[in-house]
Amino acid sequence: MNAENKRIRIGIVESQAVIRECLVNYLQSIQAFEIVFQAGNGEEAITCTRKHKPHVVLTEVAIPRVRGDTVTAHIRKKYANVKVLALTSIDKPETIAVMLLNGCNGYLLKSAPMAEVVKAIACVIDCEFYYNKHVTRQLRENLLRRKVARTHNMHLTKSEKRVMHFVCRQMTSREIAMQLNISHRTVEKHCENILLKTGEKNAVGIALYAIKNGIFIN
């Protein structure tokens, strides 16, 4: 996780007990992970997040009492350092978009192998967000069908678009600086300008904006 090698504290939100127990059994067998709570509905998820302060909340979207998108919005607003990763059976572009717009740091289907779940958890800690090619394709198809005007991205400079491209590839500021042979501070300045010009708040928003406006190339 960082130089101090702290364990990643994980909360699991899943209404189906069998799936929840399988996730717990597998993830807690990994030395770098610590399961700090299990929740079967949205209300429990909100309460447990406040009480146990996880680093990552792994949640189904279709959960009772409080929906997954509402839980995500609440957690991301109240606890900015807590990452939310969706693990769901719902494979609808509009659901993916809603979750990301509510601050979700990543979206995985339950058909994903456990190794990818582990990778995604580590990735949202290190890089702020995680998405795979399938999710990217779903978003592109859904958003491009709406014929979003591409003129909105014309105010971004070529340098800012290049930085945005690498942000979408889940690279850190230092990795982008090395890739483009520029200073770390220059990359951070480009990122600040991108956030200002697009009106987005974080890397997830940048990625969604890039996909929506046809800037991102996977």
Each domain of the chain, given as residue ranges in start order, spans 8-130, 148-212
Name the strand (E) or helix (H) holding 59. strand 56-59
Whole-angstrom distance between the N-terminal and C-terminal Cα of the chain?
26
For residue 198, count CB atoms less than 10 angstroms from its CB and return exposed for 0-12, middle for 13-18, buried for 19 or more: buried
Please name the CATH architecture into which domain 148-212 falls: Orthogonal Bundle (1.10)
User: What does the pLDDT average to over 108-129?
Assistant: 94
Residue partners of 133: CB distance under 8 A and separation at least 6: 218
Q: What pLDDT band is residue 78 in, cutting at 50, 70 and 90?
A: very high
Q: Is 8-130's fold the same as 148-212's?
A: no
What is the average pLDDT score of the chain? 87
Which residues, including other chains, have CB under 8 Å from residue 149's CB and lie 6 or more apart? Answer: none
CB 171 within 8 A of CB 179: yes
pLDDT attached to residue 98: 85
Q: Which residues pair with 170 in a beta bridge?
A: none
Q: pLDDT, tens digit, for every residue of 58-77?
A: 999 999 999 999 999 999 99
Fold observed for domain 8-130 = Rossmann fold (3.40.50)
